[in-house]
Chains A and B, each alone.
Chain A
Amino acid sequence: MPNRDMATQELAARASSGWPLLASELSVLFRRRRTWAMLLALAAVPVLMAIAVRVSSAVPPGRGPAFLDRITQNGLFVGVTASLVCVPLFLPLTVGVVAGDTIAGEAGLGTLRYLLVAPAGRVRLLLVKYAGAAAFCVVAPLVVALAGAGIGAALFPVGPVTLLSGDVITPGEAVVRLLLVAAYLTVSLLGLSAVGLFLSTLTDVPVGAMAATIVASVVSQVMGELPQLEWLHPWLFSHYWFGFADLLRQPIAWDSFGSNALLQAGYIAVFGALAYGRFVTKDVLS
């Protein structure tokens, strides 16, 4: 079993520092077929969208997701529109799978106790597992944005990009903005990853933790739509998810980026502490 081999390697590496452990965690994560399948599914969203717009007639402005009508004028918008479409469900779904699997996955496979043989290894393991989930949060939005920009450039003309403010920027600047959007989404998903990490420490059944994480993201978004809970909205981790549009204004409105980062840091702190409390006091039997 490759995972068990990894665990043995990790045991050998533990003596030095956490870096080899992190490296092996990342290589396990990104060598998994499941991870590749999820990234391919994410990349399929912009591809399908671009092909659908290409073969159909012109989209009238104001219909469908925002920016959809701009795609025909500028292929780079495929990346933005696809990010927009992936934010509510697809990105949280894949992040939920990765984050929910972190601890519970090892427990479910029976490899967790091998990872924990060394003393004081639990905190380090928790950190490494979270870093792995965070790495996925970096890659997933990037895949959507870059696959979108790529397919858009292939199927549609690429030229100066019109921002929400009506100002026009060069394609080079537009790619920078696109990367900023991906970075914004990475930050947005970090809080959810921390929630997933905590849920993952609660159970030995990875599917349960994954489902619970995804449910948490849906519940947060549903509560964000209810006007009766207005007082709660600024505290929901999904509150600023759509704020990445502020990066497409001229000048860039950084307020939502800052507020979002602060909010996600709060979630990381709270659920990181909860995960720590749970994981270091947990009896690891599998």
Chain B
Amino acid sequence: MTRKWLRWMPAAAVPAVIAAAALAGSLPASAGDPLPAKTPQEVLALMAQHAAPSLSGTLEQTSEIGLPEIPKAGPTSSSGAAAALELLSGPHTARVFVDGTSKMRVQVLDRLAERNAVRSGDQVWLYSSRDNTATHLTLPADAGRHEDVGQYKHPGAGMDGVMPTPEDLAGRFLAAADPATEISVLPEVNVAGRAAYNLVVTPRTEGTLIASVAIAVDGQSGLPLSVELKARGQSEPAFKLAFTSLSLEAPDASLFAFSPPPGATVKEVEVPAHGTGSRPGHSTEGGVVPDPAVPESVVPDAVAPESVAPDAVAPDAVAPDAVEVRPTVTGTGWESVVEFPASAASAEAGAMMSSDPLLQQAAVAVPGGRLFSTAVVNVLFTDDGRVFAGSVPAERLLTAAAAR
């Protein structure tokens, strides 16, 4: 009897070993040397002065912003807004390759498909394997200003003579942000196997949907490794974008030499010299996941927090021409509400809201319009064509709309 019992031992031991290994693997790996303590100002300066010349890594994005789940398989909706929503909802994995400031490749790894954005100098290719289409654009000479990749440069670059040090800038920024925002450095975290400072931005007001924004800043290079957006009343991060693996070595040069494959449909797109509309790096069709290496666009937004929310939710991503209309901002800091007056573009966006079944599901009818509500941003399309947006509770948008 005992011998019989002994023979079942492996069957009991193996799952136990696997469970133990899984548990051990999920525990945070103990980092070697702890990072030297830094004040928020020093961490901001470290982030500002970083110049990652080249990197290759894998990014993972998860979001729980309360958008309807879009089926992974099946035909994708043709509308650009729905494609943007698809990128924002649900998990995504992307590989990023950067070599210097002018070469970059982003691959969004879909199930049995892939979307690519390749930039080499002023040549940009977008490729989607699902419908086998390639889009080509040539960036204007001054594109560096609008380019995400360009932002790797020192913030003071171009201002000859008086070039403020990153520490100065960080100090000034902190002073400007302080009344509305608390910025602190929490105990270090481990992202993609690297020790990182955990910089946390917390609004001081209760009148916003955003609970906190956490940015993990690599302790050695200053490269932002992850961005995590938390919404009020939600324990899971509303939006998280983080490196799962990262190497700071130069990727293979052949990765940036892209030519459209034979048989692909090639589209040429003209980029206006002073493109105020869609930024190449943010084209939703190309499927570029927002890069966590660009939290610069997140941090200074203590002044205008609505752009903390991924910009595709903002109406200007729905209709890029909308920027011609001057929006007005009411309220300050995290509680600001942006109003876009009635225009052709906003009407178009409103029409799309009510025609696209997917968006229809996402936007609920409220008195006086339709409300597009997520955990971190609310957008109100009024019946008379105006658009209100802000990281504020829906009631505030309704009040703002009623006040006019």
Task: Give the interface of A toward B (CB within 8 A).
Answer: 61-62, 66-67, 69-70, 73, 84, 159-160, 162, 164-168, 227, 242, 245-246, 249-251, 253, 255, 266, 269-270, 272-274, 276-277, 280-281
Contact = CB atoms under 8 A, between A and B. Distances in A.
A273 B14 contact: yes
A255 B58 contact: yes
Given A69-B132, A164-B129, A167-B261, 16 more contacts: A67-B112, A84-B112, A164-B112, A164-B114, A165-B114, A165-B127, A166-B129, A166-B134, A167-B258, A168-B261, A253-B109, A266-B18, A270-B14, A272-B14, A276-B7, A281-B8
Given A66-B112, A69-B132, A251-B252, A166 B11 contact: no
A159 B7 CA distance: 56
Contacts of B109: 246, 249, 253
A166 B10 contact: no
Contacts of B7: 276-277, 280-281
A268 to B, nearest CB: 10
Contacts of A269: 14, 18
Given A84-B112, A253-B109, A276-B10, A166 B127 contact: yes
Nearest to A72: B263
* Residue picked from A67, A164, A166, most chain B C-beta under 10 Å: A166
Interface string B246-281: 000000100100111111100000000000000000
A165 B107 contact: yes
A277 B113 contact: no
Contacts of B14: 269-270, 272-273
A125 to B, nearest CB: 15
Contacts, number: 88
Given A166-B134, A166-B261, A277 B10 contact: yes
Contacts of B125: 166
Nearest to A160: B262
Given A166-B258, A166-B260, A168-B261, A61 B112 contact: no
B160 interface: no
A62 B129 CA distance: 9
B38 interface: no
Interface in B65-110: 69, 75, 95, 107, 109
A277 B11 CA distance: 6
Contacts of A270: 11, 14-15, 18
B89 to A, nearest CB: 12
B395 interface: no
B131 interface: yes
B326 interface: no
Interface in B1-24: 4, 7-11, 13-15, 18
Nearest to B252: A251
A135 B154 CA distance: 58
Contact of B264 (A67, A164, A166, A276): A166
Nearest to B75: A62
A165 B10 CA distance: 44
